[in-house]
Structure 1
């Protein structure tokens, strides 16, 4: 093949495959890149998860094998937790205690229990929010806690419990109950379908670093906060004598103080406690209590493992038979609603000589929306309604990040990758 033929083929190829001038190709690549960046940026506006700040976070119920994490957001959103024993290896996931297996709910108040933990170990966790935004603490590090040693003392278990209702008297379900003492929020739970809640108080209570708090005494003041999903809050200040149970049903949004003193230390055994109390008594409701609900919880004390009759009298008589437990305690939730008005509850029991014993308490059911406040006492007293007083908690929050510091979004990676792909294709086209 001659040189002229080779030149002819080259000229023919060049004519059939004209190149775009390099400056024009670079300008075209730059224009297309900017166009796609503009389009992708306009579609990646900050998600609701990035806009909503974390209002509060508490690490509670620190037991050897589980911990409960509570946090609040400004608006309702989904949320779950990733956690593990290393900052770089958080491969376990926990969802809200109220979530169903296939459905994640949206909440203002998020409550997740981390289970199957190891005693005496530090765990790290992050909060995952809507749009895959990850939330850490104010320094950009994961949140953390240390589980206590396994040999916690459960022999002297005490119970604090109560009931909370809406303004119309209906039970308040799924409200968060936080209990603080010794300047820290340490224990928590959620209200059940009937508005009742219960928190075990152990002589061994630990903070988020696994440190045991000093032994509780009768002079310690408990601060209970009950927070509804529509952000109504009740703050209750009470001493040890008045949280087992709270003397009256709580109307959400109202604040209460029950600070009647009683010389008693938590470490005293339950058998000793019972010896100091009356053998036959109606513990709840208190004398002349005004109850803002339709189905009051009635509790009392009689001989252990015996049957008693509980009568509730007004326009008609409601009768129930109840059996006491091994320590003599009994409780009864009425199976029907009570209308506003005055009532008398009577406990009919027998002593060891089979002699009939009767104990009576008078109480009232409040009208819908009526405010009820009062000071608790060990003996029957008149509880008079008084103006609502705000009891601001003086305890500091265990963890209080004010802004989401690290909010990661996958859209940034998509944007960068697409831009590089367009740029690479343009360079191939140009050269």
Structure 2
């Protein structure tokens, strides 16, 4: 053997070793980098602030939860604990547009009666479950009550006089699954009371209209209100609710008392006399009239253009009047009154009214200053239900991968490239 042959063989052997080491280095790097930077859905220790089953009936149920920050969320579910692969998005998500929010509401439809279903919450691509085990619920065995009972309904406004659109309304009847709906663009909402399900038995409950219920109003910005009232006072509410304030109504009262807690009450001598709630006014400059504590200041505002805002003091008889406040175009308006009660507590009242168009036919009972008070009858076209939007249910979608092992499919792609490099080195040597 010539020295040159030995030299080149030695050189090739060294090259081969270098290629092997380089390939292994690349392979190890890819495993480390991509294995610990997986973008697939993963198990999580994420904590959700609130989570409950709502609107449970024989063939549907909804999942309501709250997160600590705004997140995009959805549900995967099924009737087998080991196979939750049906995907349902939030009721407010339309098409490919998914909006992050604090509150989440997913409605599951077309379920079978008296059957257990399993589900996992996916929040910002992380699974929320109990030790990776799904949550569960059981649909009701029997259909709801067929007796005639009026739905709970009303209207919610923001403090600035604008409708509280897309706010959650939660109706909590004692020992029953919570009923939930969303407000419409007008701030109006409606909750049917035929399908109230007992939490213990899963059977429909007979509603007692004398029983007090607790309600929650939850806005997208976390502004909220608590309401306590008998069932019979919720269909309908006597006045518009201003979100951000708490209310209490007992069997003897017809007007909700405004408070910062459920212990304060509103004196009966604080009121808006004109305009009447829901009235249609034939003049563009309506008279404003009401009562308050004698000598107390009243702040009045109307969401007109230009906006009307004025302060006035009640006279010695506790009365106040404003004539011709501002010329308003035909349309709907809200008058907001702020004043103090005898104990110095803040009281807020609202009145919704409409300026009628010229020549518009108006039916109702005539009142002072050309104001007509129509009979208020709830109609399906004015009030939302909790089933307005149908979520898209994809029966064949594979559920997001539960706790991953730390690998991603990219690993194998790059590993293959590393092996190709090693093979190329082997061919060069031999």
TM-score range, shorter chain: 0.5 to 0.7
SS across alignment from 1:215 = coil
- 1:226 and 2:217 equivalent? yes
**1:120/1:209 CA distance change after superposition, 3 Å:** farther
* TM alignment of 1:315-354, pairs within 5 A: 315-316=285-286
Instruction: Note the residue ranges of structure 1 that are not aligned, 5 or more in a row.
Output: 1-6, 263-285, 300-309, 318-335, 345-363, 374-382, 389-405
The match for 2:128 is: 135
1:142 deviation in Å?
1.3
1:101 corresponds, among 84, 95, 104, to 95
SS across alignment from 1:222 = strand
> Would you say the 8 A contact 1:159–1:200 is kept in 2?
yes
- 1:58 and 2:38 equivalent? no
The match for 1:149 is: 141
> Would you say the 8 A contact 1:145–1:208 is kept in 2?
no
- 1:298 and 2:278 equivalent? yes
Instruction: Note the residue ranges of structure 2 that are not aligned, 5 or more in a row.
Output: 254-267, 288-303, 311-319, 323-333, 348-400
The match for 2:105 is: 111
> Would you say the 8 A contact 1:62–1:208 is kept in 2?
no
Query: Which stretch shows the higher mean deviation, 115-124 or 171-180?
Result: 115-124
SS across alignment from 1:19 = helix
SS across alignment from 1:40 = helix
Query: Which stretch shows the higher mean deviation, 106-115 or 26-35?
Result: 26-35
**1:212/1:290 CA distance change after superposition, 3 Å:** farther
Question: TM-score, normalised to structure 2's length?
Answer: 0.59
The match for 2:335 is: 365
1:408 deviation in Å?
4.2
Write the distance in 1 (CA, Å) between the matches of 2:339 and 2:16: 81
Write the distance in 1 (CA, Å) between the matches of 2:108 and 2:340: 37
> Would you say the 8 A contact 2:145–2:204 is kept in 1?
no
SS across alignment from 1:98 = coil
The match for 1:19 is: 13
1:80 deviation in Å?
1.7
**1:159/1:371 CA distance change after superposition, 3 Å:** farther
- 1:172 and 2:164 equivalent? yes
> Would you say the 8 A contact 1:83–1:123 is kept in 2?
yes
1:168 deviation in Å?
0.4
> Would you say the 8 A contact 2:154–2:240 is kept in 1?
yes
Q: Show CA shifts across 1:209-238 (max 9, x none).
A: 761265333453211111111111111111
Alpha-carbon RMSD: 4.8
- 1:206 and 2:197 equivalent? yes
Write the distance in 1 (CA, Å) between the matches of 2:251 and 2:416: 73
Q: Show CA shifts across 1:83-142 (max 9, x none).
A: 221123333222221222232222221112111222222121222333x33222x34221
Write the distance in 2 (CA, Å) between the matches of 1:87 and 1:311: 60
> Would you say the 8 A contact 2:157–2:164 is kept in 1?
yes
1:199 deviation in Å?
0.6
> Would you say the 8 A contact 1:222–1:240 is kept in 2?
yes
SS across alignment from 1:171 = coil
Write the distance in 2 (CA, Å) between the matches of 1:167 and 1:93: 37
- 1:255 and 2:246 equivalent? yes
The match for 2:66 is: 72
Write the distance in 2 (CA, Å) between the matches of 1:57 and 1:179: 15
1:77 deviation in Å?
2.2
The match for 1:302 is: none
**1:120/1:51 CA distance change after superposition, 3 Å:** closer
SS across alignment from 2:156 = strand
**1:287/1:415 CA distance change after superposition, 3 Å:** farther
Question: TM-score, normalised to structure 1's length?
Answer: 0.59
**1:296/1:216 CA distance change after superposition, 3 Å:** same
Query: Which stretch shows the higher mean deviation, 76-85 or 16-25?
Result: 16-25
> Would you say the 8 A contact 1:146–1:209 is kept in 2?
no
The match for 2:300 is: none
The match for 2:178 is: 186
Query: Which stretch shows the higher mean deviation, 18-27 or 216-225?
Result: 18-27
**1:222/1:20 CA distance change after superposition, 3 Å:** farther
